Chains A and B, each alone.
Chain A
Amino acid sequence: MRYAFSPEQQAFGESATDLFARHCSPGAQRLSWMDDSGRDPSLWRGVVDLGAPAILVSEEYDGIAGTECDLLPVLEEAGRQAVPDALLESVFVGPFAIVACGSEDQRRRWLPAIASGESRVTIALSDGGLAPDAHVSDLIVLARDGQLRVHQAGEVALERVHVEDPSRRLFQVSPRTEGELLPSSGDLRDQVVARELVGSAAVLNGIASHLVSATVAYAKERQQFGRLIGSFQSVKHLLADAFSKVELATTAARAATWRVAAADPEGLASARLARICAVEAEFVANKVALQVHGGIGFTFEHDLQLWLKRGKALEQSHGGRHRVARTAGLDAVACAQRAPQNEEDD
């Protein structure tokens, strides 16, 4: 057993850290809020140079043939630095949908271009769902009647849906053609959903981790009543509580990702559990971060809002908070019925 990332995975994560720091600083993001695109092409080129979109693509299609776990450090870091690009969709869920559900012909046509970064992909997994970064994507995967269809950028009309987080770019996509059905997407939909759940959990855990560490840093410099506010138990305990939840949620997401990647029969159920922990931990971190920052954190000038708003968006995105919890509850009932019952129980 080994819970830690491998040295290669760690190095991959560190490269992503450097890349994001160069391109997605809060200052750079603020500049991008003004323009419609809001995307820095050089960031995407950097992501491609890292090999991220090629990780889940097999060597046969010019990919790297890595695993879902390899992408975790990048997704966590994307959250930690509030990367505006929809990397979850473009390097993880989107490519996976085509890898898993595409026909041989479709894979041959699309995967090499995805792996090389020539084609950028996005995906919306619920019917009528909004597709992030559709305006910079070449392939847009949409759900209809429980199946997935791939649309070329030129065959859709995009309408931007404005959202609280000025860095996010969400679009209502109206296809002008039928698109191409991914033939196995009806049968394998759960596998795609499982990746969305663990991947979005990883991003949320990164966001929450930053919210806690940025707030700890602030509590170590802000003074009131002649003392650092981080010396008050009321503040220390809020932070310890949030930290402990984020720690467990991070471990849960890593473990669930490993199960999903290993085709464990419990993979999808574990992915839901990991997603719930990530949402609930981020919820607490979000609350604590603003509370401890106080008034300064509520100003438009303060960068905390990048993580506060992104966090609130991702709590509800990718299937909604309550639906996932309810399905996990049904899983738990089914699991309890299968579990052996001790005779001593009353």
Chain B
Amino acid sequence: MRLNADYLKTFVNIDMAAPQLKDLLVSVGMEVEEVIDHNGTPVFEIEITPNRPDWLSHYGVAREIYAKQPQLKLAPLELYQFEKEISREGFSLFIEDSSDCGRYSSCIVRDVTVKESSPWLKNLMESLGLKSINNIVDISNITLMTLGHPIHIFDLDKLADGQIIVRRGKQGEKLVLLDEKIVDLTSEHLVIADKEKSVALAGVMGGLETGVAAGTKNILVESAYFDPVRIRKTAKQLDLRTDASYRFERGADILATPAAIKIFLHMLSQDHGTPLNITWYHDLFPRTVTPQRVTLKKDYPSIYTGIDIPMDICGQVLKHLGFKPEDQGDQWEVEVPSYRVDIYGKQDLVEEIIRIYGYDKMESAIPLSLNTVVRMDKKREFIQAAREYLTASGLYEVINYSFHSPEENQRFSAAHPQFHSVLELKNPIGKDFSVMRNSLIPGLLRNTALNFNQSLNRVALFEFGRVFGIHDNKIQEEDYLGISASGEYARADWQTKKTQPFDLYIFKSILAALFKKLFPEANVSFVEKEFPFFISGTGLTIVLNGVQAGYMGEITRDILEADKIALPVFAAEMKLETLLQTLKENHFSTWNRYPSTSRDFSFLIDRKIKYTQLETAIREIKPDTLESWELTDLYDGKNIPPGQVSFSMNFAYRGKDRTLVSDEVNAIHIDFTAQLSKRLNLTRR
């Protein structure tokens, strides 16, 4: 809302420069966005929180300035004085439901002159960012800017048959608004109607047909109180936001309707320079209003703020703000003014007191409260440990939006079979962001594409984040760790002279090392499995202590083409909850002190036999003294018979309770490798 400093001065005699006034406004709780110079007058653009509709006017702000600086004088509002008793005959008002419209004050003014606004009025309108239409419309707008209560002016001669009805819209009924928009009315909308038709959308906008125009002679002035919820529903449903609806939905002052009319009439008579011909006035007030009362113990403001605020100051502040505190010994019974729709309890009054007393007087104290149980956040600790390992391994952390396009989700729908369907947003910001992600990999691919476009050669990323889906008609969200790598693993340097790109084995090694670091005692295995988004034959399920914790593989060309990525990308995703369940305390174990002896074994093996089968066979027939083994070379070049591949392995033997002598080791090794050869049809080289 805009606040004209000169116009403000007609209500409270402030004498301060713009910066001081700005500080004062901020100190009571208004946000000053901007101070504009309008032809030498400071104009404040202020943001008003939704609890304070009473500040949405110059007089409302003046009341607040007065409370802060009560030595200033708050001028009474200039209201039009009716010279005689005005007739209630000749025109009638009818409110269908008083819960929609609690009060309707209205009057008829005849023989008005519609003309261009005076320079003063035009200038004031302009300073407040409002477009000048004509004197009558402008004065009604200034009335709003003065008191904050919206009023509406009808051209009386365009209303049918001397009656105003406040009712709900009817199905099939249409109304053309002042902005020429045509709305289809329903029973959810509150309208102002004459006998024949609706003429205005109550509390939101008037109708075009009955509005004040150049030839208007006689007017009907409306100043009403509408239900905030009804106005909000109407405005929201029709996607209309007006100065009037903005105030009504925050809560108008039900006691202010006559004052708003009288401010309008006062300004109109000033504008016309002649007495007004008011022929009818009626204040229809079907709702009973009792003032809000709050009991406040006198020592409560000090207890709740933790600072000593003298009781007499508390009482004075409340009075200056327009409250009526009735002294009842150790407490006040405080009557709340009708324009303060935000005050219900004693805490509200404490805020009022310290707002005016000064938030800057607040002191600092340290609460001694402690939780009775100290719970460490295991997930947080795990994430931090994993993050430290991954960053030390040369991977960068990324954070992506939680939104995907439906296509991105579709590509990875097989990632999490527990999600039966996709969680869709009802009101997304765009089609590319219309569903909740079901996997972290599409985000990593997007980031990979972007970085390759920026000419980076190595893109190794990870993200901790939540994925979403629907399981058995229930919303599910799960935390995952996603990892991807593409491009250079090790770049050529002056010593190696050779670039090594990421490949499936390097990627698997990074994961294996992660598990070794975080789960030193876990049994980790990678089990072959096909995934539609991985190139066939590259997919692996990651199994920790017998539980599937995630998967890894090489992304298919189709998917990479969609992201315009030319290089192979390796990716993995792991469920944090499963990883955490596998996480156990380490145990100390002593080590074997006898020396270990190793023997090499090179052999040809059928290509169809996978390494994991070889390992299974080793495990099954290994002698007790075989402690560990390692693949030291793999060769399938020259001199290798077709259909075979050459492996070199190193086997380490160690006695459990004594040192093994060389001949013993030889005998064990020869026997073991012979058995293994027989089992898998290996040829010793």
Tell whether A pairs with B.
Answer: no
Which residue numbers of A lie inside 8 Å of B, CB to CB? none
